[in-house]
A and B are shown apart, each in its own frame.
Chain A
Amino acid sequence: MEQLINMVLLTLLALITIGIIRVRNLFAVVVLAGAYSFLMASVMMVLDAVDVAMTEAAVGAGISTVLALGALHLTKTEEAAPRFSAILPLFVAVGTGAMLIYGTWELPGFGLADTPMNTGVGLDYLDRSMAETGIPNVVTSVLASYRGYDTLGETVVIFTGGIGVLILLTAVRRRRRLAGDRDKGSAP
């Protein structure tokens, strides 16, 4: 049953991706991307990644959509028709896909407990987390305790990104205001 739900959701994801490729109206593209993020969050729920699903629904479908809509408000909402043929990009994409498929041949099947990945350090965290940190949610204990410095670094990345956005956008606003003043000065 789990696998069936998984397959249906994944098929929908692939269909939405094809829709995003074909649609030219950027507003529709952004809304489709929001639906894509919600579907991805559902897939993550099925894959037992509840914390990740929550973050994807809030960040991927929420904040990203708001950011994209804000950018569309300040730019254009229609994509220009393609001027070059899509044969070369298609060739590159299909070639990459073929190599990736070749890479999946030796991968272990879905949902097995005895793969190298699932018998390694992940099990160790599951065994030791309760005794060492007292937090029942192992994802939280790894994120905030064992790998706390990584999370600090992540916060630094967001902070830097925020500063970059502020610098870029305040410069836009200042130049607009200057242009507005100049227009007013030249008007009779």
Chain B
Amino acid sequence: MTEILATVNYWVTIVLMVGGLYIVVAHGNMVKKLVGLGIFQTSVYLLFLSPGKVLGGTAPILAEGFELYSNPLPHVLILTAIVVGVATLALGMALVVRIHEAYGTVEDDEVHELEMD
């Protein structure tokens, strides 16, 4: 049981990563592709934050009476990643709206067919 608990974070990280990758590859709808990309991204957050956790430790805010803190460095990296992630998402959604205006559809195979005609 303890062995499962010790690796469950990595397992779920992989499940989320594979799920996000599958949505991006298998689904033609561009809004859904962007949601899948978001899931892939959050799985990377989990991959960074999980090894930084110290059991019995607390959040890295220095205070009297606490000796053990979790690693603050992954938190800083992931804060930057979240904000950059929302910038790419906004740009992606704007592109989807623009593609819908130009082709009348947001399915990538339909866009491809219209391009071929």
Chain A positions within 8 Å of B, measured between CB atoms, are 2-4, 6-7, 10-11, 13-14, 17-18, 20-21, 26, 29-30, 33, 36-37, 40, 43-44, 47-52, 55-56, 59-60, 63-64, 67-68, 70-72, 74-76, 79-80, 82-84, 86, 89-90, 92-94, 96-97, 100-101, 104, 107-113, 115, 117-118, 121-123, 125-126, 129-130, 136-139, 142-143, 147, 150-151, 154, 157-158, 160-162, 164-165, 168-169, 171-172, 175-176
Contact = CB atoms under 8 A, between A and B. Distances in A.
A5 to B, nearest CB: 11
Given A82-B28, A118-B54, A7 B93 contact: no
Interface residues of B, number: 84
B25 A89 contact: yes
B18 A97 contact: yes
Best-buried of A70, A93, A125, A147 by chain B (most CB within 10 Å):
A93
Q: Ordered nearest first, which 10 A-B pairs have the shortest CB separation?
A: A111-B55, A161-B87, A89-B26, A48-B70, A122-B71, A109-B6, A71-B93, A10-B12, A89-B25, A17-B19
A161 B78 CA distance: 19
A68 B97 contact: no
A82 B59 CA distance: 45
Contact of A172 (B26, B32, B85, B98): B98
A163 B40 CA distance: 25
A49 B75 contact: yes
A3 B72 contact: no
Contacts of B19: 14, 17-18, 20-21, 93
Interface string B71-97: 111111011101111111111011111
Interface of B: 4-12, 14-23, 25-29, 31-32, 34-36, 38-39, 42, 45-46, 49-63, 68-76, 78-80, 82-91, 93-98, 100-101, 105-107, 109-110
